[in-house]
Amino acid sequence: MTTGQRAPDSDLETLTLGLALRLEELVARESLTELVRSMYALFGIPVRVFAGDGTLLADASTEQPLCHYVNTLRQGASACSQTVLGAKRKEPDAHGDATHACFSGAVYRVVAIDYDGRRLGKAILGPYLAPEVDAAPSALLAVDPALDPTRARDLLLRMPRAREDAVALIADHLRCALDLILFAGHKALLTSQMHLATVRESYRELSEKNQRLQEAFDRLKELDRLKSNFLGTVSHELRTPLTSIIGYSEMLGEGIAGPLQDEQKDFVQTIRDKGEQLLVLISGLLDMSKLESGTMSLRRTRTDLEGVLEDAVATLLPLARKRSIEVVLDVAGPLPELRADGERLRQVFLNLIDNAMKFSGERSTVRLSARTVAFGDGPEEDEGLSLLAPARQAIEVRVADRGIGIAPDVRSRVFDPFYQVDSSSTREYGGAGLGLSIVKRLVEAHGGTVFIEPNDPSGTVFVVTIPIEVESQPK
């Protein structure tokens, strides 16, 4: 258990050698006390253990009757404390042993507690008396003029007795036991120090990684902002010439620049249709970039949602007729007014109805149903309860179709910009994958939520919930 003088060359050694070992840190006081008490019980010789700085750590002794008596005398008490101090200050020799004699003839044995080449403290055994002593020495009789020689002799002979060689064995035994306890304590201390060092290292690594992640995140955020700016600028710049293309093709189609043949009319009509398609896409991009950069402001006014829904349905009716799709609007009771941006909500439902028709077969039905619900609760929540808490009321609109449906694992992804479940079907249906991301951001800008439910046996239900602000409720 002793270590050489060479320089530490491993983490463990650095840890071991760098540690200022202290007896009281290596061994619990209770264990020490237990040890010295058992030795006192076995051999009858008092034992005390002191830390390197002289602090008493464990004590198994009772005051000897002679000491008690001498301590009651003035000069005797001072001689006693000198003796005890002397024993405490005694430095053990190279073998770790020393003795200190008391004026009474009793002896203290001082035992060094060494570990790993370091002195951690000492143990003091005694006082004890050699077996052959049968009379009070003159030093004891002269210690105080008030001392009663007969009493002093009687009490002296009641001191624990031990031969020097027996005490040396007891000292060895104590050293061995302490060595074992210290070894276990040192191991535990090292383990905990290593554990601490490992935790510290992991923490440092984590902090570094966290820092790198934060930097990457900031870079991505900046890139995202640049992308939104770019999209916004490009879309804006594209819109002006496109409006002219649409306007001029419209005028051409109407024959303002001279009559056109049928085939020419068809061509012009195609230019106009594609131009309008492009305009929708560019407007979507512009909306997206405004929503992402937070520059789109809502113009909230008192809004009748039923009117908004009727308007959205009417706008898409020609398209529905073309595909023989029936669009049904079903409103449960009068809906409370919302404080909302009616135009933006119209855009939300146009997108949802457009999707519902786009991803349904011909001669299908798209059903819109609206009702008042308690906000924050499930759609099945009964209306009686929601009336009890008017401040948490909301209007729920369900847009249900019987189309191709959306698989559960992509239901949250369809709200990502440009995400389309199946790019081959997109080619068939058209679109850029922006509609739902705009829907989600607009609904959330109104403090609402949107999620997807399956429609039994086939199709999709988009559930939009918009909360009603307290001040906007009908009186």
Ligand X SMILES: Nc1ncnc2c1ncn2[C@@H]1O[C@H](COP(=O)(O)OP(=O)(O)OP(=O)(O)O)[C@@H](O)[C@H]1O
Query: Smallest distance from the beta carbon of 426 to ligand X, in angstroms?
Result: 5
362 and 324 in contact (C-beta within 8 Å)?
A: yes
Residues in the chain, total: 475
Cβ-based nearer residue to Mg ion, 63 or 416: 416
Q: Residues in contact with ligand X, total (CB under 6 A)?
A: 24
How far is C-alpha 145 from the chain's CA centre? 76
Peptide bond preceding 454 in cis form (omega within 30 of 0): no
Cβ-based nearer residue to ligand X, 376 or 430: 430
Q: Does 455 bind ligand X (CB under 6 A)?
A: no
Residues 380-419, mask of contacts with Mg ion (x by CB under 5 A)? ----------------------------------------
Taking the CA atoms of 70, 74, 79 and 80 in sequence, report the sign of the dihedral they define.
Answer: positive
The residue within the footprint of ligand X, chosen from 168, 197, 432, 445 (CB under 6 A), is 432
Q: What is the CA radius of gyration of the chain?
A: 47
* Residue ranges in 391-420 that form contacts with ligand X under rule CB under 6 A: 401, 403-406, 414, 419-420
Q: Does 353 bind ligand X (CB under 6 A)?
A: no
Distance from C-alpha of 314 to C-alpha of 392, rounded to nearest angstrom:
31
| DSSP code of residue 376 | T
How far is C-alpha 357 from the chain's CA centre? 45
* Residue ranges in 249-288 that form contacts with ligand X under rule CB under 6 A: 284
Distance from C-alpha of 435 to C-alpha of 186, rounded to nearest angstrom:
68
The residue within the footprint of Mg ion, chosen from 253, 403, 435, 459 (CB under 5 A), is 435
Q: Does 465 bind ligand X (CB under 6 A)?
A: no
- Residues 184, 189, 192: CA angle, nearest 5 degrees: 125
Please give the full DSSP string across 434-456, using - where no structure is assigned: -HHHHHHHHHHHTT-EEEEEE-S
Residue 335 interacts with, from ligand X, Mg ion, none (CB under 5-8 Å by kind):
none
Q: Which range in 38-46, 166-174, 390-398, 435-443 contacts Mg ion by CB under 5 A?
A: 435-443
Residues 176-215, mask of contacts with Mg ion (x by CB under 5 A)? ----------------------------------------
Query: Smallest distance from the beta carbon of 212 to Mg ion, in angstroms?
Result: 38
Residue 126 interacts with, from Mg ion, ligand X, none (CB under 5-8 Å by kind):
none
Residue 400 interacts with, from Mg ion, ligand X, none (CB under 5-8 Å by kind):
none
114 and 125 in contact (C-beta within 8 Å)?
A: no
Q: Does 431 bind ligand X (CB under 6 A)?
A: yes
Query: Smallest distance from the beta carbon of 407 to Mg ion, in angstroms?
Result: 17
User: In this structure, which amino acid lies at residue 372?
Assistant: T
Q: Does 349 bind ligand X (CB under 6 A)?
A: no
Structure tokens belonging to residue 283: 């407007």
Residues 354-393, mask of contacts with ligand X (x by CB under 6 A)? -xx--x----------------------------------
CA-based diameter of the chain, in Å? Answer: 150
Query: Smallest distance from the beta carbon of 347 to ligand X, in angstroms?
Result: 11
The residue within the footprint of ligand X, chosen from 76, 127, 342, 435 (CB under 6 A), is 435
89 and 53 in contact (C-beta within 8 Å)?
A: no
Q: Does 293 bind ligand X (CB under 6 A)?
A: no
| DSSP code of residue 64 | -
Distance from C-alpha of 285 to C-alpha of 235, rounded to nearest angstrom:
7
Query: Smallest distance from the beta carbon of 194 to ligand X, in angstroms?
Result: 54
Residue 414 interacts with, from Mg ion, ligand X, none (CB under 5-8 Å by kind):
ligand X
Q: Does 289 bind ligand X (CB under 6 A)?
A: no
- Residues 72, 78, 80: CA angle, nearest 5 degrees: 80
The residue within the footprint of ligand X, chosen from 80, 152, 350, 436 (CB under 6 A), is 436
Distance from C-alpha of 146 to C-alpha of 126, rounded to nearest angstrom:
26
Q: Does 114 bind ligand X (CB under 6 A)?
A: no
Q: Which residues of 46-57 are buried (b: 16+ CB within 10 A; e: fewer)?
A: bbbbbbbeeeeb
Strands 449-454 and 97-101: unpaired
Given the rule CB under 6 A, which residues bind ligand X?
284, 351, 355-356, 359, 401, 403-406, 414, 419-422, 426, 431-437, 460
